[in-house]
Chain A
Amino acid sequence: MGVGIRTHELRKVFTTPPPLAAAGARFAGGGGGGLFKKKKDAKPNPNIVALDGVSLEVAPGEIFGLLGPNGAGKSTTVGILTTRVRPTSGEAYIGPYDAWKQQVDAKRLIGVVQQRPNLDFSLTAREILLFHAAYYGISGAERHERANRLLDQFQLTPRADDMTRGFSGGMMQRLSVARALMHDPQVLFLDEPSTGLDPQTRLLLWGIVREYNESGKTILLTTHNMEEADTMCHRVAIVDHGKVIALGTPAELKASIPGGYLVQLKLSAVPESLIEKLKSLSGVTEVRATGNSVDIYAGRGGSLIGEVAAAAAENSADLHDVHIAEPSLENLFLHHTGRSLRQ
């Protein structure tokens, strides 16, 4: 039982600019416009490399996370696996089925919550669930029973018979997840499911996802929130610029950061002698200086501060700010890319 996911050397090159909605931010503006505008300001077709050889293997029954900043290629990976994006090259499998060549078989196995709510605005919340189940051939009585249960579980019963156009973002998101669960899919895709959810709803969602996973279902979750990846996922792939840059359990990944702890300093000046001194402190594995900031990767955190302050004073540099970060996926990302996930 259980269905896994596999991709092999997936590449995707977009040759049209992203729609305004896909918040890629690299190509702003340019949508809409009149009929005759096209020719005049025709730009050469862009070549956006969204995925650059992504190979993943997700075991049946696993909660697998794709962690990466905006534009990393998470949604494109999900898009290919869910038959919505045509891969430029490479293969994607849902269980035994090729997601592109055996679309119908693949679609039968998956439930998808896309990044942006895409509810059917012509229907009420309940109708959205009922019609969704009907597409999968679930019988009438069973449909109603499941819809009632999910509406209740996601606290949507009071609004069940309203049109969804006026729903808040959080409600739409909950309904999208409920819809994806209606046909009891073997593999559940959640593309940044908790963006825009209040903390309480996020906990509700995490609980439901865990419970669903415990019934043997495979879950692929994308996020740019390392806390979510850390607490929810059995394994995590960190992606950036369409490539997997690290892969493992959250614990393994965190252990792979040199030192584990990250101590960030801001100083009035960073003389070379200070850097040498910091490098020589016990437990320090790596020191990176950029301008007046210094990042120290070390095996200990708080106990280092006294020695750091002394070293700064010795080299007549004023210490303006000290921040200690415990071992985290955020630090790992920073270590690999020199950028923060949050930006």
Chain B
Amino acid sequence: MNWTTFRALFARDLHVARRNLLTTILQTMLQPLLFVFVFGQVMTRSGMMPTSYRGMLLPGIMAIAMTMTGMMGVAMPLLAEFQFTREIEDRLLAPIRSEWLAVEKMVAGAIQALISGAIVALPARLLLGSDLGLSTEHLGLFATIAVLVAIFAAAGGMTLGCSVGQTQIGLIFSLVLAPMIMFGCAYYPWASLASFPILQKLVLINPLVYASEGLRGTLAPQYPHISPTIIIAVLVVVDAILIVTGLNRFQSKAVS
């Protein structure tokens, strides 16, 4: 492993991310923020939702923003770079094992995910007000889960970006990501699915559930939530599987 090359590869991605900063922010942040406004403000002020809903909403919104930013931040550039123009070729020739290029992309994606979680939290808090009843007691656990969620997003993006074609990504979005978000327990606690027992079991295959529940359980523990220990265990396993799959998919795309 060669740090100089790794750093240069990272610097390249950072440079490109900075250049596309505005579009990236709009792409991934707009939707969660609109959601915050509609559900956190319109619905609660009009009395259609209890005001306590706002504190429940923030961790879920963070989970969505992190997951989407990390996934898209890794998958979309990869799709373009592995296309027939093979823009990635020059970096595959850099004097470092090509797996490290994949690792670098995942690290960059995970950092992007963490940043977007932080960025979306600020305006969301402004929109939702300061009386959200958030707890700072479990910050260590919260940070651990946030990092695991960021890794899940980036490794998932690597797997996705190296598995589907450019023509299929639109379909993936509407067929996979939309239900994933809706059934990701971001807008409601998992416990509230109790009246749909089959659905409640079914959504457990959705990693976003653990992201939302984990962030909520450590930031707003007053709401019902899955135990953080279980969350961490599941996320570690999911991360490991996605990292290994992502690296394999990347290698099979990189070498013919």
CB distance from A321 to the nearest CB of B (A): 42
Q: Which A residues are CB-close (under 8 A) to B8?
A: 131, 134-135, 137
With known contacts A85-B256, A137-B4, A34–B167 Cβ distance under 8 A = yes
Against A, the Cβ 8 Å flags (1 = close, 0 = not) of B1-27 are: 010110011011001100110000000
Q: Which of B41-90 contact A (CB under 8 A)?
A: 77, 80, 84-90
Within 8 A of B (CB), among A71-118: 79, 82-86, 103-104, 107-108, 110, 112, 114, 116-118
Taking the closest CB of chain A, its distance from the CB of B15, in whole angstroms, is: 7
The answer to whether B87 and A119 have CB atoms under 8 Å apart is yes
Structural contact, B2 and A118, CB atoms closer than 8 A: no
Given A120-B90, A135-B5, also A32-B165 (CB < 8 A):
yes
- Given contacts A35-B168, A86-B255, is CB(A179)–CB(B90) below 8 Å? yes
Contacts of B89 in A (CB 8 A): 84, 114, 118
* Selected interface stretch from B91-99, B153-161, B222-230: B91-99
Q: Is the CB of B87 within 8 A of A104?
A: no
Chain A neighbourhood of B90, CB < 8 A: 118-120, 128, 132, 135, 179
Interface size on A, residues (CB 8 A): 38
Chain B residues, CB < 8 A from A116:
84-86
CB distance from B11 to the nearest CB of A (A): 7
Q: Please tell me which one of the listed residues B11, B87, B98, B165 contacts residue A118 in the complex, with CB atoms under 8 A apart.
A: B87
Interface residues in B, total, Cβ within 8 A? 37
Contact B85–A135 (Cβ < 8 Å): no
Residues of chain A with a CB closer than 8 A to B171's CB:
34-35
Which residues of chain B are near A107, meaning CB under 8 Å?
93-95
Q: Give residues in B with beta carbon < 8 Å to A.
A: 2, 4-5, 8-9, 11-12, 15-16, 19-20, 77, 80, 84-98, 164-165, 167-168, 171-172, 175, 255-256
Question: Are B94 and A135 neighbours in the complex by a CB distance under 8 Å?
Answer: yes
* Nearest CB of chain B from residue A39's CB, rounded to whole Å: 14
Query: A325 interface residue, CB < 8 Å from B?
Result: no
Residues of B with C-beta under 8 A to A117: 85
A158 within 8 A of B: no
Q: 15 interchain pairs (CB within 8 A)?
A: A19-B84, A35-B175, A79-B256, A86-B255, A86-B256, A107-B95, A118-B87, A118-B89, A119-B87, A120-B90, A121-B80, A121-B85, A122-B87, A131-B11, A135-B5
Find the A residue at minimum CB distance from B254.
A84
A14 within 8 A of B: yes
Question: In the complex, which residues of chain B have a beta carbon less than 8 angstroms from the beta carbon of A20?
Answer: 84
Using a CB–CB cutoff of 8 Å, the interface residues on chain A facing chain B are 14, 19-21, 32-35, 79, 82-86, 103-104, 107-108, 110, 112, 114, 116-123, 127-128, 131-132, 134-137, 179
Alpha-carbon distance A127/B11, docked complex (angstroms): 11
Task: Name the B residues within 8 Å of A127 (CB-CB).
Answer: 15
**Nearest chain A CB to B254 CB, angstrom units:** 8
Complex formed: what's the CA distance from A25 to B86 in Å? 19
- CB neighbours of A83 from chain B (8 A): 93, 255
Most buried by A among B2, B88, B89, B172: B89
